[in-house]
Amino acid sequence: METTFQYLRTHATELGSRILETYPPLQGTKDPVAPRITTLLRKALPAQALAITGTAKYLRKAKAARIVAECGAGKTYMALGTIHVLAGGRPSTTLVMCPSHITHKWAREALLTVPRARTFLIEDMRNGGDPKKPHGVCEVKLRKGRIVYEGLRLSLSELRRMGRKEWRKRCSAPVFFITGKDKGKLGYYWEHAYLKAKSGPNLGGVINPDTGATILGSKQQKLTYLDFVDKIKLSESLTLPHGGTTRYSALWQADRERIQRMAPIEYIGRYMGGWFDFAIADELHQLAGDTAQGNGLGVLGRAAKRLIALTGTLMGGYADDLFNIFYRMEPRTMAGEGFAYGGQGRRDFQQQYGVLETIERVRGTDNACSRATKKTIQVLKKPGASPMLFGKFLMTTTAFLSLEDIADNLPRYDESVLSVEMDEEHAKAYEELEEDIRAAMRAHRGNKSLMSILLNTLLLYPDHPFGFKDIWARAFDPQAKEYVRFLVTMPQNLKEAGLYAKERAIIADIREELRQGRRCQVYATYTGAKDVTLRLETVLRQAGFRVAVLRSSVATDKREDWYERQLKAGAEVVICHPKLVETGLDLLAFPTLYFYETGYSLHTLRQASRRSWRIGQRHAVRVKFVTYTGRCRRPASV
């Protein structure tokens, strides 16, 4: 044996047994599952029952847990099942935060899974609004397989005034309050708040409305109204005289002339702490950033007694992808490990559990009578994570489930690459374009804007070799001491009429798939000025296929209905950006998926490729990556 991989494969059985002896699982495969699972309205698969029981056992003693399962493995069902087991037949309230386009799906799943369940959608928290649209907290029910607004209409402020006890008197069933993470973050518009002095030493200047004193900047300079032009919130810390306390003074306020509303998640976090028994955060990987949606994960932890987080792709390749997730779900553990919240703590976490590359450059220079060396050190974050990360933070807190665990209930899944050669004229134009860009990069080493041009142009040109203008970049001129533009290349614009090799290949393959009765979903990532989805729509229609294109203009919560309408209209091929369907949507009607272009997000690629391979799929699933041989697109797609 020469490699670690060979060693692990050879001794897998012995290593597995030793691990189980050293770290016995909370719920083993031979342990009995929770009896209440049998009372769910839908039968659990053996692997799902195992995950539900284990998660419920852990949450009896812990605050938060995670379920990491591949797309289609039934994460929603397992979360609902865990809450059903923990509730034990008692009334319960659950707050669910999920992508906006699957709020109706979550409501449907809850009604089809949990006995006696009632579901409410948290639409918004505002004054006024379109009377034709639902507002506030609206009950929804299942009618003929579709979610309809019917029943109670409330507001979050009413629920707050009512309190948990009063709510339980009114509703003794398990209740699920569902909000889209996009809607949940939407609050009021704001404007700057300051006054102009009308007399005294500050006449004409800006003053703090709380104190009447001059507003000072970070360098103790007096601010003017010009400092309040940018849309950036400013504030001051005021210290009361005679050694008094320090107070926060906001120099902004709600804009009364615009929409009067408050972000539902912010309101819940401020005024409804502990109101809910359980909370569910769906698509956890989308809540890892320093964003309003990411902060919503922390709000769920404060608002509920128990938190369950779900995802199919926990990491995007870097260890610090998990830093915010861990801190929002297990802050005491992170603090106990010595990590401070914020940028420095994140860097320390990446250094300890991730991979860092240190680049040291030494350059010699000749002085008047000596020779000196100048050293620069650059530290770069690289993909990869230490196995210690799993042992420290995941092994005891997370239930993992792969589609292999339920493979007996799924059809075959295949991935393949359709690689074709460019036409001669196309290849020649591409090679000239590539050489021009590489020559510019050699002449302007370290120019990051050129790297961006290299990637975007060389990835787009093979699929859209027309409509290009001269490409320019900027470089710093040390003599002029300013940035100057320079010409990078003049791409050759090929004819728009006719078909290129990759287009001919996908047309032929789609025709064969349709002959076998298999609808096709095609993914493309360039949807801007040079719209590849529009090009694909044109050539596929000309080939005789019934084609529909899903655009970002279709509201997130309307996309499931959009697909149903296209199927009823007889669509054979649907084209869209993979991000539009990466979470929540079931594309069971499209067993063949094509990645005409892939993009760079591993999260998106993995999620979008599993849209068809899910419980309920009856056909073998084929995922095909269409690429030109030896071109820039191939490394990104394979």
d(CA 572, CA 296): 39
Question: For position 372, what pLDDT does the model report?
Answer: 63
d(CA 594, CA 512): 13
Helix 46-59 × helix 75-87 angle, to 10°: 50
Task: Name the β-bridge partners of 276.
Answer: 304
Question: For position 541, what pLDDT does the model report?
Answer: 96
d(CA 519, CA 29): 38
d(CA 314, CA 297): 14
Q: What angle do CA 149, 614, 54 make, to 5 degrees?
A: 85
Cβ-contact 311, 68 below 8 angstroms: yes
3-state SS record for 34-78: CHHHHHCCCCCCHHHHHHHHHHHHHHCCCCEEEEEECCCCCHHHH
* Residue 609 identity: S
Question: For position 366, what pLDDT does the model report?
Answer: 61
Nearest to 594 by CA among 513, 527, 515, 538: 513
Q: What is the pLDDT of residues 259-295, one digit of tens each?
A: 778 889 889 999 999 999 999 999 898 888 878 788 8
Q: Which residues of the chain have pLDDT under 50?
A: 633-638
Question: For position 504, what pLDDT does the model report?
Answer: 96
Retrieve residue 325's tokens.
């997730």
Structural domains in the chain, CATH included, are 18-186+263-351+391-400 (3.40.50.10810), 190-254 (no CATH), 354-385 (no CATH), 409-421+499-637 (3.40.50.300), 424-489 (no CATH)
* Residue 381 identity: K
Q: Please return the burial class of 77, using the count of CB atoms within 10 Å of its CB with bins 0-12, 13-18 and 19+.
A: buried
Question: For position 631, what pLDDT does the model report?
Answer: 58
DSSP state of 111: H
